Structure 1
Amino acid sequence: QFGNIYWDISNISFRSPKMDLETSLKECSTALDLFLNNRFSDALALLKPWLSMYHSMGYSSILVMQAGMTFEPKDVDAAMTSLRESLQTCQRFRRKTGIVETLTNLWYRQPAERLTEDEMHAELCYAEVLLQKAALTFLDESIIGFIKGGMRIRSSYQIFKDCQAMVTAAENTEQQKSTHIHFRGGVNMGIGSFNLILSLLPSRVLRLMEILGFSGDRELGLSQLREGAADKNLRSILSTLTLLMFHLYITVILGTGNGNLTESEALLESYTEKFPNGALILFYNARIALLKGNFRFVSIYDV
């Protein structure tokens, strides 16, 4: 099943320095499958050449997850370095604007239809990488770190909103490229995650965030994430994991008791069939078993 992957990795110098969007999405999907099958080194090796914005974002994302699990300074530094380089890679694919146009955009955003499909995906990838960098910045635990992180989060959110407008504009067109479903899935994940997370803030803080331009609509967030999880796109697993985290951990920690175990099991079903031994999948299956009181299952996995 993965024979061709090893050929690609061992003959990486023969791959084209440029890669079209559809091919890069397919390769990143393959890398994601490797990651979910616990083949982390193989996934990194496939993404390492950074032939596209998706390769660079995928590689950085894996390092960010590693840094988030270990909190080791060397892992955090490696992730931050990778994120900086990934932002530069994404920037090369973004629409080039002059000084006058940049100043104009402060008051009037560019219409979505003026961006190519590649430029739309570049905006989305840039927003995701920027958000990850903001999250790591908060680990600095300094005032400057929090200010930088907050500014990056706001920039990321604004780009996600722009991408959402692009999705709306694309719905009015008769033909959509095959890559558009991955773009729409990324917007679902980004807008959904922002709304869901912000909705958990105290009402006073939420009102302040809304004044600053953020949105904290929980139902909107959940619906966006469900839509993203249902579509077969590159970021479906991210929307799924966000929903699982909300149902299985956040609701328990906050004591709301509204965790939806039935939905969680349904979300995991297809991934359990495809990746029965995947660490992430086993982790969440064990968490569901724990909340249901199935301690015989949980005893196999320490959750």
Structure 2
Amino acid sequence: MAHVGEDECFEDAFERIPVAGQMDLHTAIQETQCALHLVLNNKFNEALELLKPWYRDSMYHALGYSSILVMKAAMTFEHQDIQVAMTTIKDALNTCQKFRKRSSVVGSLSSLVSKQSHGGVPEEEIHAELCYAECLLQKATLTFVQDENMISFIKGGIKIRTSYQIYKDCQNTLNVTQDQAANSDLFTQFEGGVKLGIGSFNLMLSLLPQRILRLLEFIGFSGNREFGLSQLMEGSANHSLRSILSALTLLFYYTYVSLILGTGDGNLVEAEALLEPYQQKYPKGSIILFYAARISALRGDFEQAQSRYEECLAAQQEWLQIHHLCYWELMWCHSYRQQWPQAYTYADLLCRESRWSKAIYVYQKAAILSMMTAKEVEQTGEDLVQLFRKVEGLKQRLAGKSIPTEKFAIRKSRRYNAAEPVSLVLPALEMMYVWNGFSIVGKRPDCTEALLVTIETAEDHLKNNPSPSEYRPDDCCLLQMLKGLCLKHLGRLLQAELCFTQVLSSERQIRYDHYLVPFSLYELGLLYKQQGDVAKATTYIENAKSNYKDYSMESRLHFRIHAALNSLRGTPASTP
């Protein structure tokens, strides 16, 4: 059967749902493709209605239905949404189980497919494995989000291990049967699913620092970034149900993961090329508009990014969670331009509407208010000290652990708990660094120069304070590091180097913000890398990696160090 385009299957989708009897695999994939088309056109509830009648009897309807609800739960963090999604995944796993081969799949899938009994049991069985592996991954993700205890954490790990093993078996099947079934539409769909799973796993595992990876290798995990990227690229081009999912995974990697957990070198040319055909097809699709806006922001075109985020907000009202993502990004676009009252508006909206992390939102709002004039703060009606004092009581736990960014915000906000609060110095710029925002704002010399002026003004104020607090050495070092970042992006590399080395030479004076030293070592390493001194760069980054521990944002720095060392070696981020 020829591949059915998403445009062709869509208008009469509801009329075509069989009322009784069996749902064959071809039709199930078609129906799920239509549901995906609805999601990309902002019709989230219609997509669920299309899939619901068959989600207990068809593996693809089950997978599609649970995927939409998991996406919603991951965006809202609402307990009820998480519970609904978890129940739906259990149903989906049961549905997939009905079609799975009863004996062990390992080693038997390829022999089944090679018989080429099209439309018969074997094809259903290999697709059931694929859908089952995807559902297991969803369940593991929600298990981490939903529960705090270690048992749940381990259960989630076991599900990921099982999913990973099934994907590896499916890949072996693909390799064995490539020639026999290459022209079959069902084979193309199977191939797309395998490439999505194998590509995502390899990419995800390649990001992990060596110390975590060593533990995972012991239980059979390994990851190769280049292989993962190539599998996802092939998956995005193979015209299957999962093509768009491969493309969205790559977009998320290029525009978020490589920035927050890497050195900030996202491949924007590749991201734009991936997005372009979907922009043509879904010009008003909120997910597509969101990524278009994000790419504009990463290019330093904050004005265009703001207008695209606003377009995304206007595109749909069904899923307000997408609005919250836009608020977060708009908050940063205004922050990069130091438009603090506008940034405050979006920070306030997040505090009132989103449940993702109240502690981070309230801290972020207070940090932005700290950058505003006394008159501007007065107009908001906010009490700055009380806001900072609220942060600690809002912390939450995921998989039994505190969120590192929340811990950072809580520790910083404690300065306001004293009878005589000690103000933080430029906390909004410090948070900008935590989210690797300087590598974004650095694309705009005008904004970077303006930030430098703000930092130097704070520096003068600190120097001239007649009654310095116990935090003064820490605050001076923070300003030196932030100043160094601005100077680096403005091409004033020698001055930037002096700023970073100033932090290192003040190490013994630092009392609270111990994270500043390893992060400055890392930044100094990147500076030497930029100048082509690989040996010096490696020495400084290895120093940050090996000689410091138990500081704020440690795991985030280790992710960035892992990415930096791999780029210095000129090799893909892969396991040894």
Q: Percent identity?
A: 54
Q: Counterpart in 1 of 2:31?
A: 27
Match of 2:252 in 1: 245
Taking structure 1 as reference, are residues 183 and 298 closer, same or farther at Cα in structure 2, changes over 3 Å only? same
Gaps of 5+ in 1: none
* Contact 2:181–2:187 under 8 Å retained in 1: no
Describe the shift of the 1:131–1:255 C-alpha distance in structure 2 as closer, same or farther (beyond 3 A): closer
Match of 2:99 among 71, 82, 93: 93
Where does structure 2 lack aligned partners over 5 or more consecutive residues? 1-6, 114-121, 310-325, 330-576
Q: Which of 142, 155, 173 is the aligned partner of 1:166?
A: 173
| Equivalent residue, structure 2, for 1:82 | 88
Residue equivalent to 1:37: 41
Deviation at 1:17, TM superposition (A): 3.5
Change (3 A) 1:126 1:248: same
Alignment match of 2:202 (pick from 181, 191, 195)? 195
* Equivalent position of 1:225 in the other structure: 232
Counterpart CA distance in 2 for 1:174 and 1:156 is 24
User: What is the match of residue 186 of structure 1?
Assistant: 193
- What is the aligned counterpart of 1:141 among 144, 148, 155? 148
CA distance change for structure 1 residues 274 and 109 in 2, over 3 Å: closer, same or farther? Answer: same
When Rg is computed on C-alpha atoms for both structures, the one with the higher figure is: 2
Residue type at the aligned position of 2:165: Q
Corresponding position of 1:155: 162
After TM superposition, the structure 1 = structure 2 runs for residues 283-298 of structure 1, keeping only pairs within 5 Å, are 283-298=290-305
Q: Which amino acid aligns with 1:120?
A: I
How far 1:194 moved relative to its partner? 0.5
- Corresponding residue to 1:4 among 12, 15, 26: 12
Matching residue of 2:125: 119
Name which of structure 1's ranges 279-288 and 45-54 shifts more when overlaid on structure 2: 45-54
- Scaled by the length of structure 1, the TM-score of the pair is 0.92
Q: Does 1:276 align with 2:283?
A: yes
Shift of 1:136: 0.3
Deviation at 1:255, TM superposition (A): 4.2
Q: Which amino acid aligns with 1:25?
A: I
SS in 1 for 2:157: helix
| Conservation of the 8 A alpha-carbon contact between 1:210 and 1:216 | no
Native 8 Å contact 1:170 1:176 kept in 2: no
AA matched with 2:31: E
Q: Output the CA distance in 1 between the equivalents of 2:177 and 2:77.
A: 41
What SS does structure 1 have at the residue aligned with 2:179?
A: coil
C-alpha distance 254-175 of structure 1, shift in aligned 2 (>3 A): closer
Letter of the aligned partner of 1:222 in structure 2?
Answer: L
> Which piece of structure 1 moves more, 82-91 or 111-120?
111-120
RMSD: 1.6
Spell out, residue by residue over 1:93-136, the C-alpha distance to the aligned partner (whole angstroms, 9 max, x if none).
Answer: 11123xxxx5xx7xx63252225111100000000001100000
Cα deviation, residue 142, structure 1 = 1.5
Q: How many residues align?
A: 291
CA contact 1:181–1:233 (8 Å) conserved in 2: yes
* Structure 1 residue ranges (4+ consecutive) displaced by more than 6 angstroms after TM superposition: none
